[in-house]
């Protein structure tokens, strides 16, 4: 088995290769002058199974992923295992208005054509995993890696911004041996959320908010405001997928005491590696 990384996931692939004791080939990736993607896996042949580590977000990374699947097949790969740390387009899993596409289903259909196995990390809508037909698919979780990262930080309370995310808060809290709870969130628009004033006991506590995605940062900003109102001593924030669009990271750095993400999306604060969780799926 070898590991091939695309340009979204070089560090994570390095870490994974070390843990699994496998060769890591960094695929060449560049753009033509017109913006089209080009990839090349510099090997004579691949006469084994290949693990391709590459996100399906943003759009260029998605195209790169499809090209890497094809390049690996062309070199003779026996089996293609796609590790997709951040699975893009997972949020539209149904039509909300007549005439829309079901984006998540489109992604699944096309990835399924070449993949034999798919591994995702904290996919936004877990039921999507069941839509793969040919490929076997599993979703692994970042909670243990996140919990271990904060093990020496004296966290008193782990908090989910909404009820739907409370399983993640509970899993992180069980690693830390702390209590957990959730706030109540209502989404008002793409960028605005309202956190309902709650009776969470945060006074004088060091609180860690955990979420799967930070996109515009609206959710975390509102949650942080509520925790300050409740008298929290410190507000730490961790997410699996740090998209941080429209200057969200700079804004959140001002409102939280500490903010980190995992390396499903590699960036300035992606301090937590999810390689242990992915490696476990190969054991």
226 binds ligand R5P (CB under 6 A): no
Which position among 29, 55, 219, 262 is part of the footprint of ligand R5P (CB under 6 A)? 219
159-172 burial string, b = 16+ CB within 10 Å, else e? bbbbeebbebbbbb
CB of 89 to ligand R5P, least distance (A): 13
CB of 153 to ligand R5P, least distance (A): 22
Tell me the helices (H) and strands (E) count for the chain, helix number first.
8, 16
State the CB neighbour count (10 A cutoff) for residue 152: 8
218 binds ligand R5P (CB under 6 A): yes
Residues labelled as active-site residues? 185
* Binding window for ligand R5P (CB under 6 A); candidates: 151-159, 217-225, 265-273, 274-282: 217-225
Which position among 145, 213, 235, 265 is part of the footprint of ligand R5P (CB under 6 A)? 213
State the number of binding residues for ligand R5P (CB under 6 A): 12
d(CA 31, CA 39): 9
CB of 213 to ligand R5P, least distance (A): 4
d(CA 55, CA 3): 14
Which residue, 81 or 193, has its beta carbon nearer to ligand R5P? 193
240 binds ligand R5P (CB under 6 A): no
200-217 burial string, b = 16+ CB within 10 Å, else e? bebeebbbbbbbbbbbbb
SS3 5: strand
166 binds ligand R5P (CB under 6 A): no
* Binding window for ligand R5P (CB under 6 A); candidates: 19-27, 38-46, 212-220, 267-275: 212-220
Residue 124 Cα distances to 98, 249, 269, 278, angstroms? 23, 20, 20, 17
211 binds ligand R5P (CB under 6 A): yes
Contacts of 271 (CB under 8 A, 6+ apart): 149, 260, 261, 263
d(CA 51, CA 188): 40
Tokens found for residue 275: 């390689």
212 binds ligand R5P (CB under 6 A): yes
Which one, of 106, 12, 108, lies nearest residue 51 by Cα?
A: 12
Spatial contact of 174 and 152, defined as CB atoms under 8 Å apart: no
Which position among 214, 232, 252, 256 is part of the footprint of ligand R5P (CB under 6 A)? 214
Q: Per CB under 6 A, which of residues 146..165 are in contact with ligand R5P?
A: 161, 165
193 binds ligand R5P (CB under 6 A): yes
CB of 16 to ligand R5P, least distance (A): 25
CA atoms within 13 A on the CB side of 145: 24
114 binds ligand R5P (CB under 6 A): no
143 binds ligand R5P (CB under 6 A): no
Q: Which residues would be at the binding site for ligand R5P (CB under 6 A)? A: 161, 165, 193, 211-219
């Amino acid at each position: 088995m070898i590991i091939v990384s695309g340009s979204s996931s070089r560090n994570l692939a390095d870490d994974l290769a070390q843990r699994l004791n496998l060769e890591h080939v960094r695929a060449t990736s560049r753009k033509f002058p017109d913006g089209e993607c080009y990839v090349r896996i510099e090997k004579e042949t691949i006469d084994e199974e290949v693990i391709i580590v590459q996100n399906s977000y943003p759009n260029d990374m998605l195209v790169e992923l499809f090209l890497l699947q094809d390049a690996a097949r062309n070199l003779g790969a026996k089996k293609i295992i796609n590790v997709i740390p951040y699975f893009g387009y997972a949020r539209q899993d149904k039509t909300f208005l007549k005439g829309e596409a079901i984006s998540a289903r489109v992604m699944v259909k096309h990835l399924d054509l070449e993949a034999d196995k798919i591994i995702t990390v904290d996919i936004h809508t877990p039921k999507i995993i069941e839509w793969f037909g040919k490929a076997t698919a599993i979703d692994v979780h970042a909670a243990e890696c996140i919990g271990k990262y904060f093990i020496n930080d004296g966290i008193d309370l782990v908090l989910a911004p909404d009820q739907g995310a409370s399983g993640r808060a509970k899993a992180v809290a069980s690693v830390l041996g702390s209590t957990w709870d959730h706030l109540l969130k209502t989404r008002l628009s793409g960028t605005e959320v309202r956190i309902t004033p709650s009776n969470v006991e945060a006074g004088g506590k060091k609180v860690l908010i955990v979420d799967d995605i930070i996109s515009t940062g609206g959710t975390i900003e509102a949650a942080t405001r509520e925790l300050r109102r409740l008298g929290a001593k410190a507000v730490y924030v961790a997410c699996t997928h740090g998209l941080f669009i429209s200057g969200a990271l700079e804004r959140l750095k001002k409102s939280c005491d500490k903010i980190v993400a995992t390396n499903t999306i590699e960036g300035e604060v992606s301090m937590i590696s999810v390689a242990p969780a992915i490696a476990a799926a190969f054991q």
